[in-house]
Structure 1
């Protein structure tokens, strides 16, 4: 063995320590081969978890500490139970002491005293003290919700968050009996003549209403509309937000904010002047210029913010602010600081949200903080209006929001939630067939232990905010709630390691908050994953995701329609592939070849793409969905007839497919090399398709007829 390789092989003790902290020292690659983590990777990931594994001696100390960890706590940091099932609760106290344990129910709904079970465990000595374990039972009839479990002995008392989650998130009864379909759109790309160069929440409301009323669609899935930088340049990717909880105000329609109607003539002129400079960009077929749109819109929004609000509107704003609590104040503070320092260095101490420096800056920038809180309020109002419009148009679900995997490493969440995020780590994905070099999304992951220690409060608050005005929620890379591919800073995407999470807690809390919001949950479960994960999600009522091109039989041929999962959102394509017309033409190969992303000879990949296309056309032909030499449009419609034949409860249709677009919205593995997330909605030859013209589009109406049977 090469000396360098030998040096990088982890010791058995290091492997044991990694496993104790939920780190998988090995994994199965996409092609079925077993891969092992290097020593430096395990050491770096343990360091991010707060564990020093820099020498054999320190590894031994850490192993001894982890063995005693649960015995040092009277109660677990957070207890997650499932409604309808009794749960054992271990309580650790000085051996021989009596202990009382009870539950204080949510919202002061009363208390429940817990009974002790007849379970004996040998005492464990920690720091010279014998610790005993008493086991209590959380009864199966505890109500759903966020409670507190408390324990008391002569030595003192302890408390922990108790979350009682539903066993299963049920699909609404009407959807269990029929197949529902909807459109999938990148909101920024769907512009109207009134847009300020970027699709907005007014466009969302109109698209939802029109799709429900005129196309009989049941839902409208959009890209994440989570917050981006408050200054330019703005990160174009909706999957790299500065905060997943809060909203990007670039999607606001300024004219729809009530106070705009009552501005003075001079202030109205300022609004119109700002709009005139960017509104014409809505008909430009070139890449979307978010920076120009945001600069114009931000200037106008400051004018509207300065206008007086009625007593009722001001009360509503303040109530919203109180309801969102410290999370909103911290987010608005980060925005104000970012705006104030304009890309320059922050003063010492300002990187700590709790510091005296930040406290002083909060006071100094209070007006700016008010402005950024107000932006979130008016965005919340417009999102509520969009969901209402979709339902009024006849949609049974309405807006389906999308939750990104993580956040920008230098963003608001990374600043405000630093205590529950792992530092020096980016998350991504190991190499697979479509991304042969792996992916590093650069986002800091949740710190598993800190998340539990804080009662999952940050995760809960995130879900509550995103679900406020959602009929459904798509979770991007839902496998991340089970395990995430952690990549230490400075290492390649293929040098990562999987870190496991308490999926019972994360999925359970997701189901609880979705049930309370009346929303469906869809997990994007593509890529490398363990087979049991899909079964688990199905048991919990979380729908999966099936993409036609990715579903294969064991012989590699396209999966038969009847073999698709019933509890899924099934689509022909996804935003990480070219629209169907482009995919059929091999655009996914040509783009990667042009950008140098292939690790195999291009002729090999082209041949594989041709075989994949031919096999799909043969499958369509076998079912009588196409004739001899079908046209592009006939093939696209046949692909959608194919998914209609599946038992999937939800079917998604890309709006880009519906109008004949060929350009991909995103090319994974690229940054500036491709105009990711900047492609406006266009037809087969690149002409802009505006919202007002959608219902006159023959391809769209024809495809809607296909979906309506």
Structure 2
């Protein structure tokens, strides 16, 4: 991953397009005039003149508790706090004791239209207990299926994993993103390109608890089909969803009369209704809103309102809302609040729900990604649309705040994928490639202010995925703001006992090999079979790190290497030390091989043994013992 200069932390001028960046080979890359023009146009520029500036929007100020000063409005003004309380400002001066939150200042200033200013009061740092010291497990929940699962790991299996880990002293369980995919069509295998990051995936529901409320024939057929799915060597999300939908539809058809569901809908309000509306529209017109009738392609058209108010649509909106009610209930019942660290994907699909609702704030045709580097000579195009910085800021970052709030619900912490993107992102202009991209930076560190605010409100810590070649200035900025860094044995040259304290330590991630995969040679074989270009020395860099960590030679048994490596990892002073559930269960295949789609069964590989057997797995106990030390 290439890096931009430390100035990325400073507020951007004009459109925020940076003049260039140093790639991993040390060369300075300057975006072309064409690229800059296309990006400015996607941001709303009306001309190709580089001197054109973004339009003026509602002013925004972010302050910290205890700060005082004048607002940008003139004349008599009133401050409306987030809870509706109004305070008259003397001479426009802000009081120093303002509560955390999203507030609003208004002044008539003798004009027909009042002046308005957004005011956000945020703590200087995210929530973080400086004395925190814990160990935990990271897991791909879909892969952690038990003998009772319906083809993939579910929220009941999460509860089993939480119970097993916390009984042994674990303080966290890190999960893959649970974001919802498109409500119709084959579910996406990758959890990193969701339809929405604010609602959770009903695929993870344990529907077996509903079987007592459906007809006997449906129950018998569903149980038989679930056993067959569970016996498969690959996770078939399409088949899993079709089976679970059969039970959910049958249960819904019998009627749901639950006051708790009514309360849930009232509390989630318009946001849940809009999600249900999108799902109901998708059932009629397909998953991609780009192909819908034109008058339905924006959430706030009269046609959408008429659709949502019809009796047929209301029933479907209620159904999709009910699924979210079930998910939240099962997630909380699993004990997530005390230990789960959720995973926030870097973006969302261009034709999904989040893009439908927030299309006015996105850069049409642009995608985010990564520039060329050693692992990807052509760069990476993630196909995800970026927010236009000035447009998101004009909304006082409401979409970003809503996204954080949804992912911090019932969670102890949050992992932010590609956390450097909170300071700047590589934009790929329409019609060009990642190699032609340019970095676009946000307004200073305001996205981090919103992270700090939502983290403080939730009482949850935040881990940033800052892997790759990252400017030390950026990492220092994240550290000062209270975010934990990520340190991996695969990449760090210093030994674990020299790693920083404010970090989460691990050996691997979902995109990298398991210990058994490296030591057995299976991972290298998988890459070659998938057509991935591997280094001339194969996986010897990884093997060397294991030899050093485990103090062993190539003849050492794999279990010894795994346990000894985690024992070395536990010597780190990092606040959090984690073990991958794949390593606990002796998995040889990594969950995902970057750069491949169907060439490798990405995101579809279950753990080699059922989760039920974790209790009787000596390797898991030995790794836990190493971490406890």
State the TM-score, normalizing by the size of structure 2. Answer: 0.92
Residue 324 of structure 1 pairs with residue 303 of structure 2: no
Retained in 1: the 8 A contact 2:490–2:545?
A: no
Retained in 1: the 8 A contact 2:37–2:50?
A: no
Q: Give the secondary-structure state (helix, strand or coil) at the position aligned to 2:364.
A: coil
Change (3 A) 1:191 1:588: closer
Q: Distance in 2 between matches of 1:506 and 1:30?
A: 26
Return the match for 1:159 from 90, 98, 116: 116
Residue 337 of structure 1 pairs with residue 301 of structure 2: no
Change (3 A) 1:583 1:432: farther
Change (3 A) 1:306 1:208: same
Q: Distance in 2 between matches of 1:512 and 1:343?
A: 34
Return the match for 2:39 from 38, 45, 50: 45
Q: Give the secondary-structure state (helix, strand or coil) at the position aligned to 1:245.
A: strand
- Aligned match of 2:516: 581
Change (3 A) 1:268 1:47: farther
Change (3 A) 1:503 1:331: farther
Retained in 2: the 8 A contact 1:448–1:502?
A: yes
Residue 357 of structure 1 pairs with residue 303 of structure 2: yes
Residue 221 of structure 1 pairs with residue 174 of structure 2: yes
Q: Distance in 2 between matches of 1:246 and 1:693?
A: 31
Residue 613 of structure 1 pairs with residue 567 of structure 2: no
- Aligned match of 1:192: 146
Residue 293 of structure 1 pairs with residue 240 of structure 2: yes
Return the match for 2:618 from 695, 698, 707: 698
1:127-182 per-residue CA deviation (whole Å, 9 max, x = no partner) reads xxxxxxxxxx544432211221222311241223311111123423xxx4463111
Residue 661 of structure 1 pairs with residue 587 of structure 2: yes
Q: Give the secondary-structure state (helix, strand or coil) at the position aligned to 1:20.
A: coil
Retained in 2: the 8 A contact 1:275–1:296?
A: no
Residue 634 of structure 1 pairs with residue 560 of structure 2: yes
The offset of 1:627, in angstroms, is 7.1
Show structure 2 runs of 5+ residues with no match. 1-11
Q: Distance in 2 between matches of 1:188 and 1:560?
A: 32
Retained in 2: the 8 A contact 1:474–1:523?
A: yes
**Number of residue pairs matched by the alignment:** 613
The offset of 1:584, in angstroms, is 3.9
Return the match for 1:471 from 412, 415, 418: 412
Structure exhibiting the larger radius of gyration computed from Cα positions: 1
Return the match for 2:77 from 80, 93, 101: 101
The offset of 1:510, in angstroms, is 1.4
- Aligned match of 1:84: 66
1:218-255 per-residue CA deviation (whole Å, 9 max, x = no partner) reads 11111011101222311110111100000110111113
Change (3 A) 1:139 1:547: farther
Retained in 2: the 8 A contact 1:563–1:646?
A: yes
- Aligned match of 2:196: 243
Matches within 5 A, 1:398-413: 398-413=339-354
Retained in 1: the 8 A contact 2:287–2:352?
A: no
Q: Distance in 2 between matches of 1:431 and 1:239?
A: 20
- Aligned match of 1:348: 294
Q: Distance in 1 between matches of 2:504 and 2:268?
A: 31
Show structure 1 runs of 5+ residues with no match. 1-17, 92-97, 117-136, 392-396, 552-557, 683-688
Change (3 A) 1:628 1:488: closer
Retained in 1: the 8 A contact 2:496–2:568?
A: yes
The CA RMSD over aligned residues, in Å, is: 2.3
Retained in 1: the 8 A contact 2:192–2:346?
A: yes
Q: Distance in 2 between matches of 1:138 and 1:204?
A: 47
1:172-214 per-residue CA deviation (whole Å, 9 max, x = no partner) reads 3xxx44631111110001111221101111111111111111x
Q: Distance in 2 between matches of 1:252 and 1:442?
A: 28
- Aligned match of 2:5: none
- Aligned match of 1:382: 330
The offset of 1:524, in angstroms, is 0.7
The offset of 1:652, in angstroms, is 1.2
The offset of 1:546, in angstroms, is 0.9
Q: Distance in 1 between matches of 2:244 and 2:405?
A: 28
Retained in 2: the 8 A contact 1:522–1:569?
A: yes
Q: Bigger relative contact order, structure 1 or 2, given CA contacts below 8 A and separation 6+?
A: 2
Q: Distance in 2 between matches of 1:590 and 1:197?
A: 27
Retained in 1: the 8 A contact 2:136–2:577?
A: yes
